[in-house]
């Protein structure tokens, strides 16, 4: 299988066959200590904090194109390369990178299904050798709004039946019992599916099957004909939800950077409890 045809959700067996061949860049978003002890041979480490911007109290914002251009250049990315991302938490950090690539117009990317857990637990090769990136000159020209939802966009579409809001936080955060912003609760009309529900704990944190995921979503009224806006506290957890939806064929998906740390820290945004 050439890199032109790598699937969005890439299995460890297939990635091992691709090691050292083709135009792939493997990006590790594990904790730094985990990377130092074990990682996929040739993987470049990326600190998650470099992917996000903060304007306190709002976290998880999208950096500007200058920062993203420098970041992608630092890891040695070129426009024709296929990015394979993984982490040690089930895919949240890796998916935030993939969502960022999507909004930057870089469409060639895959999530390693199960991340380092699946890779290591299933006997694939691990390395302690630190891979130094060869800097490139990557330029992010513009941001693709199709995969991006702003606070204003959501406010404009609160009563739009063709737009569905999916909250990937815990049930306690959704109900307002746990407050991580000035106000607790959720965006009016949003339904809750905590992000780890999309993971199969029995299969090294891989995504659940297409049938399972689609059933879970459709039970909540999240159907593929709608534009689905996903959010959590900072668009970390919901980036995983974004990729899960994309993996099962949903085409109109938007991530809300800042998420509840943006919405819940405003004085006048409408909220729901319970």
Q: What does the alpha-carbon distance between residue 274 and residue 257 come to, in Å, rounded to a whole number? A: 24
Task: Work out the percent of the chain whose per-residue pLDDT is above 70.
Answer: 99
Annotated catalytic residues are 232
Q: Are strands 191-192 and 163-167 parallel, antiparallel or unpaired?
A: parallel
114-125 confidence digits (pLDDT tens)? 999 999 999 999
Task: List phi, psi (to 5°) of 85.
Answer: -115, 145
For the stretch 247-261, pLDDT in tens is 999 999 999 999 999
Q: Give the pLDDT score at 274.
A: 78
Question: Which band of pLDDT confidence, cut at 50, 70 and 90, is reported for residue 208?
Answer: very high
**Cβ contact 111:95 at 8 Å:** yes
Per-residue pLDDT band for 3 (boundaries 50, 70, 90) equals low
> Which domains can be identified in the chain, with CATH numbers?
3-121 (3.40.250.10), 149-263 (3.40.250.10)
Report how far apart the first and last C-alpha atoms of the chain are (Å, whole number): 48
Q: What value does the mean pLDDT take over residues 98-111?
A: 97
Banded model confidence at residue 1, pLDDT cuts 50, 70, 90? very low
Predicted TM-score of the model (pTM): 0.96
Banded model confidence at residue 187, pLDDT cuts 50, 70, 90:
very high
Q: Of 127, 114, 268, 130, whose CA–CA distance to 203 is shortest?
A: 114
- Mean predicted lDDT score pLDDT of the chain: 96
pLDDT of the residue at 193: 98
Q: If pLDDT is split at 50, 70 and 90, which confidence band does 100 have?
A: very high
Alpha helix stretches (DSSP H) within the chain:
12-18, 32-37, 65-74, 92-103, 115-121, 151-156, 171-175, 210-219, 237-247, 259-263
pLDDT tens string 144-165: 999 999 999 999 999 999 999 9
């Amino acid at each position: 299988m050439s890199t032109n045809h790598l699937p969005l959700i890439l299995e460890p067996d297939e990635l091992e066959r691709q090691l050292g061949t083709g135009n792939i860049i493997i990006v590790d978003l594990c904790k730094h200590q985990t990377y130092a002890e074990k990682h996929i041979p040739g993987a470049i480490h990326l600190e998650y904090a470099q992917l996000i911007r903060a304007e306190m109290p709002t976290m998880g914002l999208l950096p500007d194109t200058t920062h993203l251009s420098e970041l992608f250049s630092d890891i040695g990315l070129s426009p024709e390369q296929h990015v394979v991302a993984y982490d040690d938490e089930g895919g949240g950090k890796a998916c935030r990178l993939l969502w960022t690539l999507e909004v930057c117009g870089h469409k060639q990317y895959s999530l390693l299904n199960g991340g380092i857990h699946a890779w290591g637990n299933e006997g694939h090769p691990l390395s302690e050798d630190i891979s130094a990136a060869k800097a490139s000159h990557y330029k992010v020209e513009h941001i693709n709004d199709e995969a991006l939802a702003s606070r204003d966009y959501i406010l404009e579409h609160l009563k739009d039946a063709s737009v569905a809001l999916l909250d990937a936080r815990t049930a306690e955060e959704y109900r307002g019992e746990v407050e991580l912003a000035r106000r607790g609760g959720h965006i009016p009309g949003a339904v809750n599916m905590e992000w780890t529900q999309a993971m199969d704990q029995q299969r090294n944190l891989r995504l659940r099957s297409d049938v399972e995921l689609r059933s879970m979503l459709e039970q909540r009224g999240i159907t593929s004909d709608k534009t689905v806006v996903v959010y959590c506290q900072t668009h970390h957890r919901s980036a995983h939800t974004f990729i899960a939806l994309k993996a099962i064929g949903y085409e109109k998906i938007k991530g809300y950077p800042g998420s509840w740390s943006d919405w819940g820290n405003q004085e006048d945004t409408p909220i729901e409890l319970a």
